[in-house]
């Protein structure tokens, strides 16, 4: 049985350079759940991460058994927003953050498989945030991205350069939420070596 890996199939979207670049992100399916507050202190954040991964692995097992198709579980992703961009760049006020955590799914995953996978995950793992997990499509479109290497709390200057320097120079303006793709396992990786794709959907300043 061949193993599908979205990070390899869509390599340009799950790898990034250490310089800003523009990409076009197609519509993709995700397991997702919403929350708010600091990811470092919020129990809800930890509960949602656990629920998403438990569901993702249950969905993977069902796809193997019912469809004969095997895939690698994708990386954790997050859409982040705040009333003031400074909450991400200079003040880093994590209590102001709202977020949507996501794990990408292959095209062949259906509502029925997700529904059954979520049911099994809740029954097996007693997930505190299982009722928050849903399945949907997200189409990001044109976006600027860059690879950040280092601690999450040092992303601010790079995000600021993206918004204040690179985008104006390219005639671009932000739209939608700040997007992060976590390529490293934070539990097993030294903070100085964490690899995170920072992405911002954009539109033209002339539109």
Q: What is the pLDDT of residues 65-118, one digit of tens each?
A: 999 999 999 999 999 988 777 767 766 677 788 999 999 999 999 999 999 999
Task: Please name which of 197, 202, 201, 146 lies closest in space to residue 7, comparing C-alpha atoms.
Answer: 197
**pLDDT tens by residue, 153-164:** 899 999 999 999
Q: What is the pLDDT of residue 91?
A: 62
Average pLDDT, the chain: 93
Tell me which of 1-10, 30-39, 52-61, 82-91 is least confident.
Answer: 82-91
Backbone CA torsion sign across 36, 122, 137, 162: positive
Q: Which positions ≥6 away from 126 have C-beta within 8 Å?
A: none
For the entire predicted model, the pTM comes to: 0.93
pLDDT in tens, 8-21: 999 999 999 999 99
Percent of the chain scoring above 90 in pLDDT: 84
Rounded average pLDDT over 13-33:
97
């Amino acid at each position: 049985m061949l193993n599908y890996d979205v990070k390899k199939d869509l390599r340009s979207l799950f790898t990034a350079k250490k310089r800003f670049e523009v990409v076009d992100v197609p519509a993709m399916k995700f397991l997702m759940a919403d929350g708010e507050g600091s990811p470092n202190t919020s129990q809800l954040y930890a509960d949602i991460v656990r629920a998403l991964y438990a569901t993702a692995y249950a969905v993977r097992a069902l796809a193997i058994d019912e469809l004969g198709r095997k895939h690698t579980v994708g990386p954790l992703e997050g859409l982040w927003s705040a009333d003031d961009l400074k909450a991400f760049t200079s003040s880093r006020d994590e209590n102001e953050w709202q977020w949507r955590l996501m794990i990408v799914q292959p095209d062949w995953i259906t509502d029925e498989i997700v529904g059954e996978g979520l049911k099994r995950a809740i029954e097996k793992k007693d997930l505190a945030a299982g009722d928050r997990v849903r399945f949907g499509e997200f189409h990001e479109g044109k976006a600027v991205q860059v690879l950040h290497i280092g601690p999450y709390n040092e992303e601010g200057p790079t995000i600021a350069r993206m918004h204040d320097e690179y985008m104006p120079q390219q005639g671009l303006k932000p739209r939608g939420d700040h997007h992060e793709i976590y390529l490293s396992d934070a539990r097993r990786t030294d903070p100085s070596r964490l690899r995170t794709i920072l992405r911002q959907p954009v539109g033209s300043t002339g539109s």
